[in-house]
Amino acid sequence: MSSLRILVGVKRVVDSAVKVRVNSAQTGVETANVKHSMNPFDEIAVEEAIRLREKHGKDVVQEIIAVSCGPAKAQETLRTALAMGADRAIHVKTDDNLEPLSVAKLLSKIIGEEKPSLVILGKQAIDDDSNQTGQMLAGLLNWPQATFASKVDIKDGALEVVREVDGGLETVSSSLPAVVTTDLRLNEPRYASLPNIMKAKKKPLKTVSPADLGVDIRSRLQTLRVTEPAKRQGGKIVASVDELLDKLRNEAKVL
């Protein structure tokens, strides 16, 4: 099998255990002083890349590159990826709000330079739940895509992926290069051990800007308002079917 390079995209998001609240300006959620960590699906992506290398050996999987687009603190997320086992990292530094299309464009430019054979992304980020970047990237590169992967393998230079779809599991095979996005059951990410965290500090991390890559990251969407979901109303117990129908018709007005 010829050697391949894997590129993994990671995003720094608000930690999943944090209880977010809408900021007073109603433009988004409060992110100051709130704990951030790597998007859980991206952790799975990094883990999958490392497992592919462990399975096929360093001769086959030559290099794992972690990429993140975001503010300065995104470097922490990249260091976590390095501590898990990536070889080097690229940070596209910008403080602007990035939409999936912009991220896809940035990644495609980097992919043009780094020429990986396999790109693994998380299926979606837990802050915006867009589920678009992987698919848009494949479109821009004109590469095959295998999304919602629950199993990934490389056999004789071809990719075999089991996808989780509404009807069940779908197995697809494709040539390389390709884009894969990870779903939850693909693997269980490893802990970054202390010695690896220390080694990660020395691994190379390159910083570039969207301007360097010649990408326009203007937003196409404008957020009008962000509000909290309506408070849950108490439930009511009804005594009979007639009462239920009455309430559905006259109070909830759904009949």
For residues 42 and 78, what is the distance between their CA atoms, to the nearest angstrom?
Answer: 11
Work out the burial of residue 239: count CB atoms within 10 Å of its CB; fewer than 13 is exposed, 13-18 middle, 19 or more buried.
Answer: exposed
Tell me which residues touch other proteins (CB under 8 A).
15-19, 21, 24, 33-35, 37-38, 40-41, 43-44, 76, 79-80, 83-84, 126, 184-185, 188-195, 197-198, 200
Least Cβ distance, residue 36 to other proteins (angstroms): 9
Closer residue to other proteins in complex, CB, 190/247: 190
Closest by CA position to 170, among listed 189, 150, 155: 150
**Residue 218 φ/ψ, nearest 5 degrees:** -55, 145
Closest by CA position to 181, among listed 14, 38, 44: 44
Least Cβ distance, residue 101 to other proteins (angstroms): 24
For residues 27 and 230, what is the distance between their CA atoms, to the nearest angstrom?
Answer: 17
Closer residue to other proteins in complex, CB, 4/67: 67
Closer residue to other proteins in complex, CB, 214/229: 229
Least Cβ distance, residue 188 to other proteins (angstroms): 5
Closer residue to other proteins in complex, CB, 85/210: 85
Least Cβ distance, residue 167 to other proteins (angstroms): 20
